[in-house]
Amino acid sequence: MEKKNSGTVGVKEIARLANVSIGTVDRVLNNRVGVSEKTKAKILKIIKELDYQPNIFARRLASKKKLRFATLIPKVSEETTYWEAPLHGIRQAANEIKDFGVEVISFFFDQNDKSTFKDSATKIIAGQFDGVLMAPMFEDESAVFIKTCNENKIPLVFINSDMPGYNNLCYIGPNLYQSGYLSAHIVNYLSPADKKTLIVNISKEIDLHHHLLRKEEGFRNYFEENGAINQISKIDIQQTSYAHIQQKLSEQLSKSSYDVVFVTNSRVSTVAKYFEEHQIKGVKLIGYDFLEDNILHLKNKTIDFLICQKPQEQGYRGVMSLYDHLVLNTPIEKEQFMPIDIITRENYQYYSN
C-alpha cells in the first residue's frame, strides 16, 4: 500500500480501508476495549502503512486533562555529579511535552540515606501522579513503592538500574551484567594470565546496590567462561568520604600489589586521586561514567578506561516512554539497553552523555 502524507490521512480514511466504523478506529487509537484482535491487527497494519500520525496537540486540548509525571532520582552531591546528566535529559523531555498538557515534577533522595527515598516516594503517592520515572536504588524500599504504584495503576519506568521480576512499563539503562563482562574483557587484554585484579565497590548500601553486584557477577563470569586464571580480589568500601576510602585502599594495597583495579561505579575518580597522591604507578584503572572529575584523571593518564552508558539519554527516554504510553498509546519496549561505550584519553573529546 502506498504511503500518503500523514497530514491528509484521517480516521475516516482508515475506517474506510478497514471497512469498520470510525468509532472502532478511535477505540484502537486510544487503546480501548471492544475490538477483536483480528480487527485491531488489521487497523494497526493500515495505520502503519499510511504512516498515520494523530493530531496529538488537538486531542490533548480537547481532553482538557493535564497529565502529571513524577521522577524520583538521587540528588547531585559532592561525592558524585553523575545524576546531573539524567536530570538534564528529564528536563529536556519535560520541555518538549509541556505544550501537550503534560507536567513533569522532580523528586530527589540522598543515595546514602534510605529514609529520604521513602519520604519522596510517599509524596509521589500522595500526589496522585499519572506516571513515574524512578531509579530503584534501595531494593526493599523500591519494592514497597513499586507495589503501591501497581495497586494504584501508575505506570513505572526504571532507569539506570533494573528490578527484575517487578511490574514496570520498561527499563532504560545499561545491561549491568554485560557491562561487567565487557570490563573483564578489557582487563584480560591489559593483564594476561596469572596477574592480579582488584574489584572496588564504593557505596554505603553495598548489599542493596544490586547494580554493583550484577556488574561484579558479569566481571567474574567472563574469566570463568573463558578459562582465564587471573587472581581476583574484592574490597567493599561502605563509607564514601575520601578519608575513609583512602584508609581502606591503603590497607588493601599493603597486603598485595595489583595489575588492574576495576571500580564498579562513577567513584573511580576517588581511587584515581588516591593513586596520584600516593604516586602509585603501573596499575591500570577502569571505572564508570563520563564525569568531569573522571575525565580529568583520564587526561592525566591515571584512569585508563571509562565505561559510559548515556545517562542523559536514559532520563530523556524515560519521560518520553511515559508520554508515548499514556498520550500516544504506543507499545513500549520492555528493555531498552543503552550502548556500552569505552572512553579513553584519545576519544573523550568526541563523546557526550
> Residue 68 has what pLDDT?
97
Per-residue pLDDT averaged across 278-294, rounded? Answer: 94
Asked whether the predicted pLDDT for residue 253 surpasses 60, the reply is yes
Residue 262 pairs in a beta bridge with 199, 286
> What is the CATH number assigned to the segment(s) 176-308?
3.40.50.2300
Question: Which amino acid, 54?
Answer: P
> Residue 4 has what pLDDT?
46
How many other C-beta atoms are found inside a 10 Å radius of the C-beta of residue 211?
Answer: 23
Question: Mean pLDDT of all residues in the chain?
Answer: 88
Using CA atoms, how far apart are residues 126 and 155, in angstroms rounded to an integer?
15
Q: Domain residues of the chain, as ranges?
A: 11-54, 62-172+311-338, 176-308
> Residue 273 has what pLDDT?
97
Contact 301, 291 (CB under 8 A): no
Contact 19, 39 (CB under 8 A): no
Instruction: Work out the pLDDT band at 226, boundaries 50, 70, 90.
Output: confident
Phi, psi at residue 172, to the nearest 5°? Answer: -125, 115
Per-residue pLDDT averaged across 173-184, rounded? Answer: 94
> Residue 204 has what pLDDT?
76
Instruction: Work out the pLDDT band at 8, boundaries 50, 70, 90.
Output: very low
Q: Tens of pLDDT along 108-148?
A: 999 888 999 999 999 999 999 999 999 998 888 999 999 99
Does the domain spanning 11-54 belong to CATH 1.10.20.10? no
Asked whether the predicted pLDDT for residue 258 surpasses 60, the reply is yes
Per-residue pLDDT averaged across 251-264, rounded? Answer: 93
> What is the CATH number assigned to the segment(s) 62-172+311-338?
3.40.50.2300
Q: Which residue has the higher pLDDT, 315 or 211?
A: 315
Cell numbers linked to 336: 531498552
Q: Is 87 helix (H, G, I), strand (E, B) or coil?
A: helix
Classify burial at 139, counting beta carbons within 10 Å of its beta carbon; exposed 0-12, middle 13-18, buried 19 or more. middle
This prediction has a pTM of: 0.80
Percentage of the residues of the chain whose pLDDT score is greater than 70 = 92
Contact 200, 261 (CB under 8 A): yes
Per-residue pLDDT averaged across 330-345, rounded? Answer: 94
- Domain 11-54 shares a fold with domain 62-172+311-338: no
> Residue 209 has what pLDDT?
59
User: Among candidates 78, 141, 81, which has minimal Cα distance to 115?
Assistant: 141
Per-residue pLDDT averaged across 241-257, rounded? Answer: 94
Per mean pLDDT, which range of 27-31, 124-128, 134-138, 285-289 is the poorest?
27-31
> Residue 64 has what pLDDT?
61
Q: Tens of pLDDT along 42-95?
A: 988 888 888 777 666 556 555 567 899 999 999 988 777 899 999 999 999 999
> Residue 2 has what pLDDT?
46
Per-residue pLDDT averaged across 209-235, rounded? Answer: 85
For the chain, how are helix, strand and coil distributed in percent, rounded to 5? 45, 15, 35
> Residue 7 has what pLDDT?
42
DSSP string spanning 298-343?
A: HHTTS--EEEE--HHHHHHHHHHHHHIIIII-----SEEEPP-EEE
Using CA atoms, how far apart are residues 190 and 184, in angstroms rounded to an integer?
10
Element spanning 224, H or E = helix 210-225
User: Among candidates 168, 151, 139, which has minimal Cα distance to 335?
Assistant: 168
Q: Which residue has the higher pLDDT, 50 or 191?
A: 50
Using CA atoms, how far apart are residues 237 and 294, in angstroms rounded to an integer?
19
Per-residue pLDDT averaged across 237-265, rounded? Answer: 93
> Residue 341 has what pLDDT?
96
